[in-house]
Structure 1
């Protein structure tokens, strides 16, 4: 008896399962060793089934990044909206970035640390250009959000806000990398307390305690 077709909700769930399985393989074996066959084996389906949802592993990779940046942007929006004053709003963005990196370490590594993977510029003039452009657009949204809020709450001009966002990215990436590699545990007996205190230090640099 033929299998009943998945409804829209089931399709979305299954596509997410494909992405999650692919991320784990990339982290464990590297992008070069990722294959539709390995993903299918992890999910207990045939490789043919996967091609109903994604064209190939390169397209799949871009959708992994799209999913990751959507999650990050969602965390930014939620935390920013819940924060009360200017300092807390900037602090919430810093904390959310680090929280994302710690809560989703596999996605974080694929999005920010994995070197040997396709990038948008590699795809110009290829069948992947459209999905690559979509990924780049979504990937830039969290960055643009931070720039906008630095201008709004820290009274920075556009160029200074851009540089400030880059500096925040560099610092937060360092914190996430040290935390996820467990190196921070070698030098601090309470990694989470260190993260919390460092978020305060970074936030104060942009908005002093006497500014609300």
Structure 2
């Protein structure tokens, strides 16, 4: 028996169910009919909110990046020296990834070959968090990164380190002989210290 849903409730339930099924079964095995059966509604009800499963996946990616942006924007406003705020940013990143593994996998580790291209307007929204990291990098080493373009490159290097940490732990690929907390601390220290020690660019 289908239960009555409000529009908001149905949309939220659909996204929650899709997130779980996508991570568990993969993109190829995801279908609107399977989602509707799990939610307890008709397929047509879901189509009123999402035209196809690609729109569902895009909505999940957007939702994940919005949650992350809210976290990082708040951390960036924390009082303290730039290097301390960069360190906090890195720790918040790892914390977010480990506490929200389903979102993280969909945001950064899920690449369906046949999915529609991620919409440009959603990509711009997703990029806001990297804009925050870029500004932190510039504040930590203004002489090395007088231009945003170079700071953005280094910000992506910092991100690559953090992504490696999170994805290794989520995928349970971390050597069991390594203490996870020490691994996280060492990686963040490396990323932050490398940023702080950057020399002015030579011409």
1:76–1:92 Cα contact (<8 Å) kept: no
CA shift, 1:153, in A, is: 3.0
| Structure 1 residues 163 and 4: CA distance shift in structure 2, 3 A | closer
- Higher deviation after alignment, 12-21 or 161-170: 12-21
1:185–1:191 Cα contact (<8 Å) kept: no
Pick from 38, 43, 53 the counterpart of residue 39 of structure 2. 43
The equivalences for 1:111-150 within 5 A come to 111-117=107-113, 118=115, 120=117, 132-150=119-137
Question: Tell me, what secondary structure is at the counterpart of 2:48?
Answer: coil
In the alignment, what sits opposite 2:156?
166
The equivalences for 1:60-71 within 5 A come to 60-71=56-67
1:18–1:43 Cα contact (<8 Å) kept: yes
Question: Tell me, what secondary structure is at the counterpart of 1:184?
Answer: coil
Residues 40-66 of structure 1: CA deviation (Å, up to 9, x unaligned): 122122212212221111111111111
Query: Any stretches of 5+ residues in structure 2 without a counterpart?
Result: 198-203
Query: Any stretches of 5+ residues in structure 1 without a counterpart?
Result: 122-131
CA shift, 1:119, in A, is: 5.3
Q: Give the helix-richer structure, 1 or 2.
A: 1
Q: How many residues align?
A: 191
Residues 168-209 of structure 1: CA deviation (Å, up to 9, x unaligned): 121111101111122225131x3123213321232122125x
